[in-house]
């Protein structure tokens, strides 16, 4: 019941935030951006990608510690390679307009997953 109550409160607060943003002369978020299908789609894909990655980290941590017997420190070091790979690929994406961020970011998680799969 606590979770459903918290979700209801969050939805009410989100609605109030949107109403307040629509009334302001200089809002924090221009809600008109969400009328653009490309912007909305890109944000939806980014949300889904980050949601999936967070779920992967949670379940992989459980697998590493409970099934493979890693210590919490060892499990944390496993995720350090994920972070390093993502940071390196993102730095290439920012510095290479010829290739572009979109193309490199499409492959960053695939590369990180493949790298981790070799080590497990």
86 has pLDDT over 80: no
Q: Which domain covers residue 23, as residue numbers?
A: 1-35
Mean pLDDT of the chain: 82
49 and 19 co-located in one domain: no
Asked if residue 56 lies in contact with residue 72, where contact means CB atoms within 8 angstroms, the answer is: no
The pLDDT of residue 30: 85
54 and 15 co-located in one domain: no
Centre a 10 Å sphere on the Cβ of residue 89 and count the other Cβ atoms it contains: 17
Q: What is the pTM of this model?
A: 0.56
Angle at 115 between CA 66 and CA 84, to 5 degrees: 90
The pLDDT of residue 58: 92
Least confident stretch, 39-43, 62-66, 73-77, 115-119: 115-119
82 and 106 co-located in one domain: yes
Token duo for residue 112: 């990180």
50 and 8 co-located in one domain: no
Asked if residue 82 lies in contact with residue 101, where contact means CB atoms within 8 angstroms, the answer is: no
31 and 48 co-located in one domain: no
28 or 110, higher pLDDT = 28
Token duo for residue 55: 């779920």
Predicted confidence (pLDDT) per residue in 46-77, tens digit: 888 889 888 988 998 999 999 999 999 999 88
């Amino acid at each position: 019941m606590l979770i459903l109550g918290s979700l209801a409160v969050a939805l009410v607060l989100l609605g109030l935030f949107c109403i307040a943003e629509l009334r302001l002369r200089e809002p924090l978020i221009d809600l008109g951006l969400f009328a653009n299908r490309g912007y909305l789609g890109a944000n939806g894909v980014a949300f889904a990608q980050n949601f999936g990655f967070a779920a992967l980290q949670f379940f992989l941590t459980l697998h590493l510690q409970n099934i493979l017997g890693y210590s919490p420190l060892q499990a944390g070091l496993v995720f350090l390679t994920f972070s390093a790979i993502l940071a390196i690929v993102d730095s290439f994406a920012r510095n290479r307009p010829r290739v572009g961020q979109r193309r490199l970011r499409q492959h960053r998680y695939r590369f990180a997953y493949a790298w981790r799969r070799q080590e497990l």
